[in-house]
Chains A and B, each alone.
Chain A
Amino acid sequence: DQQVKQNSPSLSVQEGRISILNCDYTNSMFDYFLWYKKYPAEGPTFLISISSIKDKNEDGRFTVFLNKSAKHLSLHIVPSQPGDSAVYFCAATGAGSYQLTFGKGTKLSVIP
């Protein structure tokens, strides 16, 4: 049973446009959500996070939106740059556990 789902395995976006990566979760006990960026043969790099008490968190070009009622979050990257091309993982934690539950990832390709 997959508790964190990233239904789009890949996404292509033109440079300068907005990239929107989506993530859905099923476990209502999750209260903290994170996005990681990963290049091949490297460890994930933390990008941005959001607590369940908020519905938006912004850091530079990255904004994460959380819709608790829909159990949905999204990562917006504006403007997209070729260096953003990577696999993006959505992760969630909660219920007093520090363990992260990851989605399967979305491969973002930003086309120059």
Chain B
Amino acid sequence: GAVVSQHPSRVICKSGTSVKIECRSLDFQATTMFWYRQFPKQSLMLMATSNEGSKATYEQGVEKDKFLINHASLTLSTLTVTSAHPEDSSFYICSARDPSPVAGGADTQYFGPGTRLTVL
């Protein structure tokens, strides 16, 4: 299947600092990427939809000024957690939609390996 990478895989930061997480589609162009958050023993929670060249669409309850999303190219989306606090500690996962008809399906999303954020 298609490959999506995330960097960093793990980050520990002090409260009040900003953290940037990168999501890259390695072997396909993704016009649409998604950012999820997962709390322990819970399902994935969609935070926002990232569209290349336009503003991200945020889910209800997600602060757009706190979670800045930039999708500057067809292979890269970034999530910046601004002024991070301990309650932002979580597992953040991105996915990229592969529009290729030979993939699992036009609506198949491929996920990155995730980023574990710990805010002290």
Contact = CB atoms under 8 A, between A and B. Distances in A.
Interface residues of A, number: 21
Contacts of B95: 43-44, 100
Interface in B49-86: 49
7 contacts: A32-B105, A41-B91, A43-B6, A89-B43, A98-B49, A100-B95, A105-B43
A44 B44 contact: yes
Contacts, number: 61
B43 A100 contact: no
Query: Which 9 A-B pairs rank lowest in CB-CB distance, beginning with the nearest?
Result: A43-B111, A104-B43, A44-B111, A43-B114, A32-B107, A43-B113, A102-B43, A43-B93, A49-B105
Interface of B: 1, 4, 6, 32, 34, 42-44, 46, 49, 91, 93-95, 97, 104-105, 107-114, 116
Contacts of B94: 43
A93 B109 CA distance: 11
B35 to A, nearest CB: 12
Interface in A50-88: 51
Contacts of A103: 43
A34 interface: yes
B113 A42 contact: yes
Contacts of B6: 43
Contacts of B111: 36, 43-46
A42 B115 CA distance: 8
B23 to A, nearest CB: 10
Nearest to B32: A98
Contact of B114 (A41, A46, A98, A104): A41
Contact of B46 (A49, A99, A105): A99
Contact of A89 (B44, B112, B114): B44
Interface in A10-67: 32, 34, 36, 41-46, 48-49, 51
